[in-house]
Structure 1
């Protein structure tokens, strides 16, 4: 059993593929443990190439047949505000990589509205916040995520919380519209830091030498408005799953290969 802890730990594997496989293994075992006695599991999925690699590994895992997916709800940490069939859309990528391979009820998949949904960017963010509130736990305006997956950018951004922007510091909303994002597409919708940090477990996945700086700053306790990944912390666990290239400068006392 995991001991309660807010400390950040690092798990290192030799390659991006090995990282994805480890995260997939942990994901399936965590979901099985959560749902074994009929409990609901809320999962926040990542986007981009990181999310796709992990979810593809999970789709090939033999354990997917042992999960009651009717008890699992899927959300996203952020979404690109593009048409629903745009290849850049996180939900489309997640469906192709994983969700289309499992027997999950349609109502358990909580997509953020697309740009061709008839909603404006602000309306789409408000609609996502309202959907989160429908599943709020213990008076919160959002569900308690069993796991919140996050990819990490080379600039240290997580979800669509980019360095030195106002969205990083907002604490009175669950979801926000993002305009003029420094990484295309320019319009996005993101969860806020309080929602991310209410998750029991925050799992951050970083691979490649170009992520070493962001990892080092996060572990060193950098200012989160400048390095958003430094402010991502789970209530129970905060785990960085990384490859050897990204972990070149990680201190030995932060490594926990047994997680």
Structure 2
């Protein structure tokens, strides 16, 4: 099966968020029609929140049958349940609290105040993933996985030169030495992310240009973790012009 890697450039951050939201709604409707249900992996970060806010604001929001959609997370900060920097809380505020979706369709990582230690929380999420897995795997069928990319090229909580990006056996890891606070986090691993049908990376700003350029130029995944992320069918980089500054023109396309 052919894997396509595409860079779609948008004129600015606002256009980027609106365009990705519109494409997500269309893709969700199409996949639900095709297969009846949908598994979406969410990420953190300000641009990701803006995309979810744009989905929520869209007049087409409820063309999606949200009862057939399940949400997972690519990573989470090890903070209390109601901490403002928790990815789950940001996603709920932006979108999830505004749609008709069964509570059981939302699968957050455990929080630091829920009675588990970090390793237990990683094991618990791996078990939850496996309980919803497709035959022959330890994972659900991830259809669309959203990811941000840090200025250092990290994705989820897989950072350069750390063991997490090299983990090949586990689906979930505990992270204790994140160079970006907080130091403790939970994250899906590279093989878990790469099991996704489609990976959508959403980047904005000049501080992302170097990491994106290096990843597309063939940097090692240990140096630039995003270079090791690739969906089974599609890997799309949705970027604004500033983030695309170091991408060769032959790899880019205008926004749709």
Q: How far apart are the structure 1 equivalents of 2:151 and 2:2?
A: 27
Aligned to 1:231: 228
Q: Which runs of 5+ in 2 are unaligned?
A: none
Aligned to 1:160: 157
Work out the number of aligned pairs and report it: 256
Aligned to 1:221: 218
Aligned to 1:85: 82
Q: Secondary structure at the match of 1:91?
A: helix
Per-residue CA distance 1:81-112 (angstroms, 9 max, x = gap)? 10000001000000000101111100000010
Does the aligned pair in 1 maintain the 2:9–2:255 contact within 8 Å?
A: no
Q: How far apart are the structure 1 equivalents of 2:154 and 2:247?
A: 19
Does the aligned pair in 2 maintain the 1:59–1:97 contact within 8 Å?
A: yes
TM-score (norm 1): 0.96
1:38 to partner: Cα distance: 5.5
Q: How far apart are the structure 2 equivalents of 1:137 and 1:50?
A: 31
Tell me if 1:97 matches 2:94. yes
Q: Which runs of 5+ in 1 are unaligned?
A: none
Aligned to 2:200: 203
Q: How far apart are the structure 1 equivalents of 2:13 and 2:134?
A: 35
Q: Secondary structure at the match of 2:169?
A: coil
Q: 29, 39, 53: which one pairs with 1:32? A: 29
Matches of residues 179-198 of structure 1 in structure 2 within 5 Å? 179-198=176-195
Does the aligned pair in 2 maintain the 1:38–1:71 contact within 8 Å?
A: no
Over 4 Å off, 4+ runs: none
Q: How far apart are the structure 1 equivalents of 2:92 and 2:35?
A: 24
1:67 to partner: Cα distance: 1.1
Aligned to 1:74: 71
Does the aligned pair in 2 maintain the 1:31–1:67 contact within 8 Å?
A: yes
Aligned to 1:137: 134
Q: How far apart are the structure 1 equivalents of 2:250 and 2:143?
A: 26
TM-score (norm 2): 0.97
Q: How far apart are the structure 2 equivalents of 1:68 and 1:197?
A: 26
Aligned to 2:14: 17
Q: Secondary structure at the match of 1:145?
A: coil
Per-residue CA distance 1:188-216 (angstroms, 9 max, x = gap)? 00000001101010111111111100110
- Counterparts in 2 of 1:38 and 1:198: CA distance versus 1, 3 Å: closer
Q: How far apart are the structure 2 equivalents of 1:67 and 1:48?
A: 24
Q: Secondary structure at the match of 1:256?
A: strand
1:138 to partner: Cα distance: 2.7
1:258 to partner: Cα distance: 6.7
Aligned to 2:112: 115
1:249 to partner: Cα distance: 2.3
Q: Secondary structure at the match of 1:144?
A: coil
1:156 to partner: Cα distance: 0.2
1:236 to partner: Cα distance: 0.5
Does the aligned pair in 1 maintain the 2:10–2:255 contact within 8 Å?
A: no
Tell me if 1:245 matches 2:242. yes
Does the aligned pair in 1 maintain the 2:47–2:202 contact within 8 Å?
A: yes
Tell me if 1:53 matches 2:50. yes
Q: How far apart are the structure 1 equivalents of 2:255 and 2:88?
A: 32
